[in-house]
Amino acid sequence: MTPEQQRSIAELVAQVHVDNVLQVAALLRKQADDIEEAITSNSQRLQVIACGGDPVSRDARDSFQRKIDAIVDVHWAHHDELSVKCRVW
C-alpha cells in the first residue's frame, strides 16, 4: 500500500466514531421499518383479482400475482438485510 493510500485510510478511520455509527444504525432501522410498514399496510392492494371467471382471466391473475409476489419478496429480503445490519451489538 502506498503512503498516500495509508493516509487516506487513516483519515477515514479517524472519522468513524460511536455517535456516527449509531446514527447510521438508526437510519437503517428507520428504512427497514418504513419498508415493513409500506408492505404490510398495502398487502391487500398487492393481491390481484381476476377480471372474470374465465380461464384466461385466472391465468393472467396468476401470472401477475407471481410477478408481484417476486417483487415483494425482494423488498422483504432488503428489509431483512437492513434489519441485520442495523443491530447494535
**Tens digits of residue pLDDT in 43-56:** 999 999 999 999 99
Q: What is the mean pLDDT of the chain?
A: 91
In this predicted structure, the answer to whether residue 73 has a pLDDT above a threshold of 70 is: yes
Gap between the terminal Cα atoms of the chain? 31
Comparing CA positions, the residue from 27, 16, 9, 38 lying closest to residue 85 is: 27
In this predicted structure, the answer to whether residue 40 has a pLDDT above a threshold of 70 is: yes
Residue with grid cell 493516509, as numbered in its chain = 7
Residue with grid cell 382471466, as numbered in its chain = 57
Gap between the Cα atoms of 60 and 51, Å rounded: 9
Please state whether the predicted TM-score (pTM) of the whole model is above 0.75: no
